[in-house]
């Protein structure tokens, strides 16, 4: 899809990874493919159809089995159906997610894939940004947004401001405190709505004191 989030650099990681996680959680297989943990449960392998030789060595027909062996074969085949259902429940969504991963990673990062039994898996260590990189990116975006927005772009600017402030809170950035962000917000919109900016600035200063 043209609107798909493409993983090209570490800046793309958070959005890209959250999409993968949501898809896997909806399919109830996240715990099976989560690459951020040291060990993950193995995806189930396709079960093998039980034959008479599974209960009697060398048997090629159920006619060669006695009553107890036939009952055992019936039990094994019942278990097979359950295992096959579970296998299909996980195999299809994991394959779909693997296809999505492969289609949303930039060409230059394709070499960072490892082929596993179920799907290509991205090398998390190389592309996941460090906390320091996240902090630098948030501060850069915040400083850029402090410039007065154009009236026609106000809606997008407000969304970006909310996003960057939420990111700053998540990282516990001391550079962007609640009162500082409120001051910067009111200063930024002063040229767009001076009346609102002035009145809210007075209220803010009263609250700080």
SS3 for 36-104, per residue? CCCCCCCCCCCCCCCCHHHCCCCCCCHHHCCHHHHHHHHHHHHHHHHHHHHHHHHHHHHHHHHHHHHHC
Q: Is the pTM of this model over 0.85?
A: no
204 class by beta-carbon count within 10 Å (0-12 exposed, 13-18 middle, 19+ buried): middle
In contact, 27 and 16? CB cutoff 8 Å: no
User: Tens digits of per-residue pLDDT, 48-84?
Assistant: 999 999 999 999 999 999 999 999 999 999 999 999 9
Q: How confident is the model at residue 108 (pLDDT cuts 50, 70, 90)?
A: confident
Number of C-beta neighbours around residue 168 at 10 A? 21
């Amino acid at each position: 899809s043209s609107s798909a989030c493409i993983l090209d650099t570490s800046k793309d990681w958070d959005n890209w990874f959250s999409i993968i996680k949501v898809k896997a959680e909806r399919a109830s297989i996240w715990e099976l493919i989560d690459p951020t943990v040291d060990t993950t449960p193995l995806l189930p392998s396709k079960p093998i159809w039980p034959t008479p030789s599974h209960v009697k060595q060398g048997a090629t027909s159920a006619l060669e089995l006695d009553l107890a062996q036939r009952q055992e074969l019936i039990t094994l085949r019942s278990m097979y159906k359950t295992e096959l259902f579970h296998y299909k429940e996980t195999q299809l969504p994991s394959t779909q997610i693997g296809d999505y991963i492969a289609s949303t990673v930039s060409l230059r990062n394709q070499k960072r894939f490892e082929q596993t039994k179920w799907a290509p898996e991205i090398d998390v260590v190389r592309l996941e940004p460090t906390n320091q990189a996240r902090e630098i990116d948030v501060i850069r975006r915040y400083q850029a947004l402090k410039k007065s927005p154009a009236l026609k772009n106000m809606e997008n600017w407000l969304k970006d401001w909310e996003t960057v402030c939420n990111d700053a809170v998540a990282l516990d950035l001391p550079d962007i405190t609640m009162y500082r962000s409120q001051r910067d917000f009111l200063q930024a919109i002063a040229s767009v709505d001076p009346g609102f900016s002035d009145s809210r600035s007075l209220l803010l200063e009263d609250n700080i004191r």
